[in-house]
Chains A and B, each alone.
Chain A
Amino acid sequence: MEIVVCVKPVPDAETRLRIGADGSTMDIEAVKFVLAGYDESAVEQALLLKEANPGSKVHVISAGPAPRTEEVLRASLALGCDLATWVELPAGVSPDPIATARAVVRAVSAAPHDLVLCGKQAGDDEAGLFAGALAELLSIPDFSAVLDLRWDPGTSRLRFQRSVEGGLEKWEAPTPCVVALQQAWNDPRTAKLPAILKSRKLPITKVAFEAPPASSGTTRSTKFELPPPRTGAKLIEFKTPEEAAQKLVKILKEEAKVFP
């Protein structure tokens, strides 16, 4: 099967966040960028599907500026993806998730795709909007919060679960479709050194960014704030477990007012 994986470079979760001088951007120039957590899961899922279905190909696509986008694409190639396409955004252009979907839709359309995979949301903007927007642009169905994704060659259907508010749903869907993955792998693969070295020489197809049509609604960040530094927990002193329990319940009731 032909699988397209859309990934996004995000600052490593360990990064100490800083606000830019203008207050309306995050200062993320010097930080280390990695595959967004759920996107890493999506790459792993794509490679597992490829291994289970011989003859499959995995094509990774990302939109973003240099050098971080090229880095995550090469990291994906090193993990075992076959092809990579980079929609290069000029410095200073940071489209919202809808505009990002518009920016990559031509590259996705041009790539053969039975399945388009991505993470359910990225760890920076936490929006979770990309998959639905891309599906709408491609006019194919999409499924979010997906777990346990399998391909059934007998029926030519994808089978998966969705973890939604109402409970755990079981689904069966034909291709093509877009799947936003919520799966967390306990043990995703890591790239081996020879593969990393080889990935540095593999070709990446570059596509120019086209600004979205002016008729669309626009969104932009106007301010970022960091929470006041947490002062640390108020430690409750106690001599016996019973005393600890009584004191905590009293605080939750009377001070924090969160006791049910």
Chain B
Amino acid sequence: MTGPALVVGELHDGALSDATKEALGVAQSVAGAGEVVGFLSGASARGPAAEFGRYGLARVLGTEDPRLEGSVAAVLAHLVSVAAELVGSGLVIVGGTTLGRDLVAHLGVRWNAAVATGVTSLTRTGETLEVRRPVFGGRATETRRLEGAHVAVATRPHAFAPPKESPQAVSFTEIPMDGIPPSFWTPKRLSVEVAQRGAGPTLTDASIVVSGGRGVRGAENFHLVEELAASLGAAVGASRAVTDAGWRPPGYQVGQTGKAVSPQLYVAVGISGAIQHLVGMVSSRVIVAINSDASAPIFKVADYGLVGDLFQIVPALTSEIRRVRGIA
């Protein structure tokens, strides 16, 4: 694991995503005085790659090709491993997105890398990388040692601060897109239904999540949860009771069989706190619970609790937040 750290970038609305910025922050701290090199690929890469320069990177490698829009993970893994070899990098760092995790999985085989995902801390000691990562749904933390010539890690969303800025000019080196088997171009991404602007962040991206549970008592009341979320700029989640009852689609479910989230703030509204739900949110930094039942298990994992009628508290909370934040 010698040479520069290679950070694989992803774009969001044409700019480096928050996940990529977190990966850059980690790379800076692990690299120390060593170099951090960027990687970017997609239908548009050369232009957006300049943003890496804002964080002190001088070199970016990548591929600009329209075929990369909606390509499979194996294609990215191929390009990244070629780029890593070209600059002599033994360490690839990527943000904790779906694509980031997929890339790391492929590099584990294609690049014979020692790999880990969901890492919340990273320490490099010579040729060894030690990472910490939540396991068992956040109910335990594992320290894992990665050894070998090649190491690839994906960070956990929201675990790291953004990188320090020290602007400079960036050179872009094109990685040729050859040696990819034809079968990898046959799958087709037919459409992307982008979350509507103003609809708030997605569950796994959001730094604040507001979830509703059985205590909301019906689909017709779920707007209370959504209005509270909107006042905070938060994503909306739900417990399994809610998605089972069809009050909200399964995509809203936070928990063991739904999505695992680790936001800065998690607000549980009318959620009792079954273990099924807890394993999906217990690693949130601050947890607030609003529930009429003081003995609900959710209060055991929450940091702050409001015991009372959510139908009174939630509207009052929404209007107080809107007032403080100056939202009309």
Residue positions of A touching B, CB distance < 8 A: 11, 13-14, 17, 19, 26, 37-38, 40-41, 96-98, 101-102, 123-133, 135-137, 139-145, 147, 162-174, 177, 183-187, 215-227, 230, 232-236, 238, 240-242, 244-246, 248-249, 251-253, 256, 258-260
Contact = CB atoms under 8 A, between A and B. Distances in A.
B281 interface: no
Interface residues of B, number: 108
Interface in B274-298: 275-276, 279, 285-289, 294
A174 B188 CA distance: 9
Contact of B134 (A126, A222, A241): A126
- Please report whether the interface of chain A is mostly helix, strand, loop or mixed according to DSSP: mixed
Given A128-B101, A256-B286, A217 B112 contact: yes
A233 B304 contact: yes
Contact of A165 (B103, B137, B142, B202): B202
B136 A238 contact: no
Contact of B110 (A127, A136, A147): A136
B82 interface: no
Contacts of A102: 109
B169 interface: no
Contact of A222 (B143, B151, B233): B143
Contacts of A13: 137, 256, 275-276, 279
A170 B135 CA distance: 30
Nearest to A119: B257
Nearest to B118: A126
Contacts of A256: 265, 286, 303-304
Given A129-B105, A232-B299, A242-B320, A142 B191 contact: no
Contacts of B193: 167-170
Given A123-B136, A142-B72, A136 B109 contact: yes
Task: Please name the 10 residue pairs, one residue from A and one from B, whose CB atoms are nearest each other, closest first.
Answer: A132-B105, A217-B114, A217-B148, A233-B305, A241-B316, A173-B187, A245-B320, A98-B108, A233-B302, A223-B143
Interface in B95-119: 97-99, 101-106, 108-110, 112-118
B190 A126 contact: no
B243 interface: yes
Contact of A169 (B191, B202, B294, B316): B191
Contact of B112 (A17, A216, A253, A258): A216
B44 to A, nearest CB: 14
B143 A164 contact: no
8 contacts: A96-B115, A101-B109, A126-B133, A136-B77, A171-B190, A220-B144, A223-B143, A249-B324
A242 B320 CA distance: 8
B257 A98 contact: no
Interface of B: 12, 17, 19, 70, 72-74, 77, 97-99, 101-106, 108-110, 112-118, 130, 133-137, 139-151, 181, 183-184, 186-195, 202, 204-205, 207-208, 232-233, 240, 243-244, 250-251, 253, 256-258, 260, 264-265, 275-276, 279, 285-289, 294, 299-309, 312-313, 315-317, 319-321, 324-325
Contact of B115 (A38, A162, A217): A217
A236 B117 contact: no
A183 B108 CA distance: 25
B116 A238 contact: no
A164 B208 CA distance: 18
